[in-house]
Structure 1
Amino acid sequence: MAVKKTYKPQEIKVSATAIAKSPTPMYDKDISPTLWGLVLLEGVAKWSTNSAIISGAVAIWKNSVADSTISTANYLTFTDSSGRYAITVPAQQKLAIKVYS
């Protein structure tokens, strides 16, 4: 699978004076985004019966889960009422994921 490149959002500042001088309610501004080393990891946590794990903890470790506990996770998020979760993690890294109900 090809790796898609992601780009970091870039902050731009536009003064109220510049907008006031614009003949339309829109203002054009060129930006040059930079590569971002992050990716949005999203999914649905499910039991083996295929039902959603509601309000569960999703723990993520970089590289390995040897001797792992939920308190040593590098990243932590929670599932919603449909079992969905999403979290931003480093791209192009081996990740291990565990879900706790």
Structure 2
Amino acid sequence: MSERHPTPEYMRRAIVHAVHQEDLPCEQTAGFLGIGETTVGRVLQLYRKIGDVAPRPQAGENFSRSRGKMATQLTRRVAQNPAATVRELIEALAARKDVLMSRPSMRRVLH
């Protein structure tokens, strides 16, 4: 399986079945299913911990104040003063809205 994609539930169930019902060792289970031993270990650890093989919920996206209304205001401010530096925009925002924003956040808003 890939680092970017969770192990499919059918594969998780096959891992638990092979180890708990068929008494196969983790190494043999991994080889038989064509997956890594680490994946087998993680699935079994999750199964022991919560008693299920359903994947854990993915984390939600962090709320960013630099979206929506604030992004519109920043875009307007840049249109009014295109020569403004990122630092000047951050300082103006902090003074006007009492909001602290990092340079990377400001750059994300502007690009």
TM range (shorter): under 0.3
User: What's the TM-score once normalised by structure 1's chain length?
Assistant: 0.26
From the two aligned structures, give the one with the greater helix fraction.
Answer: 2
User: What's the TM-score once normalised by structure 2's chain length?
Assistant: 0.25
From the two aligned structures, give the one with the greater strand fraction.
Answer: 1
| Bigger Rg, which one | 2
